[in-house]
Amino acid sequence: MNWCPSCKTVLANEQVEGGACERCGTMVEQRFLEQWFFNISKYAPRLLENLNTLDWSATTKQAQRNWIGRSDGARLRFPVLDPLADAGSSAVSVTTEVRTGGTNIEVFTTRPDTIFGATYLVLAPEHPLVDALTTPMQDGVVREYRARASKQDLVSRKTSKEKTGEFTGSYAVNPATGEMIPIWIADYVLMEYGTGAIMAVPGHDERDFEFATKFELPIVRVVAGEGQTAKTPLGDEAYVGDGVLVNSEQFDGLSVDDAKVKVTAWLTSRHAGEAVTNYRLHDWCISRQRYWGPPIPIVYCDSCGTVPVPESQLPVLLPNIPDFKPDDSGVSPLARHEEWYHTPCPRCGKQARRETDVSDTFLDSAWYFLRYPSVGRDDIAFDAATTKKWLPVTTYIGGNEHAVLHLLYSRFITMVLHDAGLLGFEEPFTKFRAHGLIIREGAKMSKSKGNVVNPDEYIDKWGADSFRTYLMFLGPFEEGGDFRDSGISGVKRFLDRLWIAVRDRDESAAPDAEVMRKLHATIKKVGEDVPALSYNTAIAAMMEYMNVLRKGERTPARGEVEPLVQLVAPFAPHIAEELWTMLGHATSVFDSRWPTFDASLLASDEIELVVQVGGKTRGKVLVPKDVTQDAALAAAKADPAIGKFIIGEPKKVILVPGRLLNVVV
RNA sequence: GCCCGGGUGGCGGAAUGGUAGACGCAGGGGACUUAAAAUCCCCUUUCCGCAAGGAAGUGUGGGUUCGAGUCCCGCCCCGGGCACCA
């Protein structure tokens, strides 16, 4: 288990980032503890598959794909040679009369095509077969190696790439070649992934190559790349590229991809293995050695064993205790509370003991969206009709730091509840967008970097509306951006000008046609940008309109400025509400309709047509919006600044209606 | 190493294959003012030129196209995810 010595609790794999606790940054240790898990790994294929149907930020989906970590390959069985009969003999062909002890070593590989090059096996030091496989002669060194590996924490073990290992003294049979190959243990093989054992193909795997070189194990080429043959020496590194099989008997000449399928089929027919898909996603450890949290509703009874607390007795409430601080024992503070700890067994009524761990807080946040619409109901978790009306969540915006935490857990819980018939959907968040990170002084804001911004100071100085609008303006929402103090003044100035425009408006003046054209273009632009989360360009469009509205300190007509207040409202709600009141409305701006635009106002009869000659922009001409190609060309020739570039008969003329004319000469 | 993003003025950033640099910051000049602040107007990619004008230009090298920041191929750099995962 991952143990955080600072938080004094175990952590799920998802809550360990680069070997450190997700919450406090302390390096985690490894401890052996019995814990409760949710079987999320069973859902790995679905969690992965469904990603293709979700409208989520690409980065978030990719993070989940990486975390789930699908790999297609094969599980292969290597029979172990009877250690008494064959120990000590050198690698000889034993195709006939293989005497095996009946044990098999199962390995997972993504390269079944290279099995003819598997010259040894490696087990993780913790592999359950190690004891049985270790010969008396090797017992000392193996025992010592395992002890050393167990003491070393997982982080340094995973990061130090220096290969170490010991020979067990036993041999297995390569099911393809029939040759006997030595069985080693080494800490570069991890018990927690695959079967905890690998077939080593040093010719075509960098790690195996390094190990084989160090311990002088045989290296065989079984794949030949372009310009290589079966005899081409491997040199000083493994060949991991594509190619065709060599030194692989009947499979020689097949491509790597073909051979993966055919070798697996062949081994399957010989009962030596089968194709499998492996995932790196582990089960979710939900036990926590804390006080605050929902107790895991399990009772341990000497007669009945592990008994779940029946539904009628749920929830198990926390006892009110003064000493709720966790300690380093690995046991929850609840265990110190005798009265609570001892409870009758729900099944037989005899004295029994409660589970003292509480569940991970991520379990709570994994279903809060189900609870929220039904908070009015105390009798049930969530009401079916209400849930059907409001869920799944249409659009969810959050941080990518939850990609493999909250967002993965929520999907899993939703799937489980769906399968239990409690929900009509199996994905909780139809659309998810990850907001970007705000960068300041060249780094993402963090307490340790000392570059965090306290919003209160900015709100005091600039106002909440300015601060909020600035955050939306400083860069694309999904990419984040640079927070620079100097940038706020522009947004503040915009809101000030809006205030003045409303205050000084002319109630009787008729709106100007050109201004109204711009207004309608702005309504259109903002209306399109907001759902696309392009807040920065929406604000820019409103600023642009403000420049037109207040050009030369003109006094705007009411009809020119009133809709702008509605457009601004989602960005700067306080000032918008106040301005709306100033405009004489008795109800909230948020109860007013979103302004609509008149498309017929947007187009004018004459347009500026950009003229290119040979692809280079040479100027523009004013033409009717539905100008013909010939008329446009004539207009271009008539313009002296453009005409001088049009020498001779045009070879080709391209007119992009309403936009551009390109004359190729 | 693998997989995602991204690379555009002094800066933050705009650009359905069609005027690169919208909008904002910073900078310069001007109007108003006794003055300052505020407000308003103009300029501000680089190079050549007094100017008119011209040339170059979106990390880099090629390619497709009448036309490429945008599409395709190779490379470099930055940010993020995964990583002794077989």
Same domain, A532 and A505: yes
Q: Are A43 and A291 in contact (CB under 8 A)?
A: no
CATH at A523? 1.10.730.10
Q: Are A557 and A501 in contact (CB under 8 A)?
A: no
Closest nt by CA–C1' to A188 = B84
Residue A3 in domain: no
Same domain, A137 and A261: yes
Q: Which long-range contacts (CB under 8 A, 24 or more apart) does A306-312 make?
A: A307/A345, A307/A346, A307/A347, A307/A352, A308/A346, A309/A346, A310/A346
Residue A615 in domain: yes
Closest nt by CA–C1' to A477 = B13
3-state DSSP assignment of residue A8 = coil
Can you tell me the distance from the alpha carbon of A654 to that of A308, in angstroms, rounded to the nearest whole number? 77
Same domain, A346 and A371: no
The answer to whether A466 CB is within 7 Å of strand B is: no
Distance A480 CA to B70 C1' (A): 22
The answer to whether A486 CB is within 7 Å of strand B is: yes
Distance A539 CA to B12 C1' (A): 14
Q: Are A180 and A86 in contact (CB under 8 A)?
A: yes
Residue A7 in domain: no
CATH at A611? 3.10.20.590
Can you tell me the distance from the alpha carbon of A333 to that of A290, in angstroms, rounded to the nearest whole number? 6
The answer to whether A66 CB is within 7 Å of strand B is: yes
Residue A264 in domain: yes
Distance A648 CA to B64 C1' (A): 27
CB atoms within 10 A of CB A187: 23
What is the token pair recorded at A645?
A: 């570039």
Q: Which residue has the tokens 């390959």?
A: A73
Closest nt by CA–C1' to A617 = B19
For B13, nearest residue by CA–C1' is A475
Closest nt by CA–C1' to A110 = B86
Closest nt by CA–C1' to A642 = B53
Same domain, A65 and A140: no
| Chain A 105-144 residues in 7 Å CB range of strand B | 107-111, 124
The answer to whether A67 CB is within 7 Å of strand B is: yes
The answer to whether A148 CB is within 7 Å of strand B is: no
Residue A286 in domain: no
Can you tell me the distance from the alpha carbon of A522 to that of A513, in angstroms, rounded to the nearest whole number? 14
The answer to whether A612 CB is within 7 Å of strand B is: yes
Decide which of A600, A620, A655 is a domain's last residue.
A600
Decide which of A219, A246, A279 is a domain's last residue.
A279
Closest nt by CA–C1' to A547 = B23
Beta strands in A345-463 (DSSP E): 351-354, 358-359, 393-398, 429-434, 437-440, 443-444
Can you tell me the distance from the alpha carbon of A282 to that of A192, in angstroms, rounded to the nearest whole number? 8
Same domain, A182 and A211: yes
The answer to whether A618 CB is within 7 Å of strand B is: yes
Residue A17 in domain: no
| Chain A 539-558 residues in 7 Å CB range of strand B | 539-540, 543-544, 546-547, 550-553
Decide which of A359, A385, A413 is a domain's last residue.
A359
Distance A234 CA to B34 C1' (A): 90
Closest nt by CA–C1' to A64 = B81
Distance A456 CA to B51 C1' (A): 54
Residue A27 in domain: no
Distance A54 CA to B60 C1' (A): 36
Same domain, A555 and A647: no
The residue ranges of chain A whose pLDDT is under 70 are 83-101, 153-160, 448
Distance A645 CA to B57 C1' (A): 22
Q: How many domains does chain A have?
A: 5
Q: Which residue has the tokens 């990061």?
A: A159
pLDDT tens by residue, A617-651: 888 888 887 788 888 888 888 887 788 788 777 78
Domain span at A196: 72-148+157-279
Give the bridge partners for A185, in sequence order: A123, A166
Same domain, A524 and A588: yes
Can you tell me the distance from the alpha carbon of A131 to that of A627, in angstroms, rounded to the nearest whole number? 88
Q: Which residue has the tokens 């081409």?
A: A232
Rg (CA), chain A: 35
The answer to whether A652 CB is within 7 Å of strand B is: yes
Q: How far is CA A440 from CA A23, A304, A480, A574, in A?
A: 22, 59, 11, 27
pLDDT tens by residue, A398-416: 888 888 889 999 999 999 9
Same domain, A659 and A527: no
Can you tell me the distance from the alpha carbon of A12 to that of A23, in angstroms, rounded to the nearest whole number? 12
Give the bridge partners for A438, in sequence order: A481
At residue A85, the pLDDT reads 53
Same domain, A101 and A112: yes
Is the omega angle on the peptide bond into residue A315 within 30 degrees of 0, that is, cis? yes
Distance A401 CA to B81 C1' (A): 10
What is the token pair recorded at A339?
A: 């009265």
Q: Are A5 and A29 in contact (CB under 8 A)?
A: yes
Same domain, A383 and A414: yes
Same domain, A564 and A450: yes
The predicted complex's ipTM stands at 0.93
Closest nt by CA–C1' to A491 = B24
Same domain, A349 and A425: no
- φ/ψ of residue A412, rounded to 5: -60, -50
| Chain A 391-420 residues in 7 Å CB range of strand B | 400, 403-404
Q: Which nucleotides of B are covered by protein (CB under 7 A)?
A: 3-6, 11-16, 18-20, 22-26, 38-41, 53-55, 66-68, 79-86
Residue A20 in domain: no
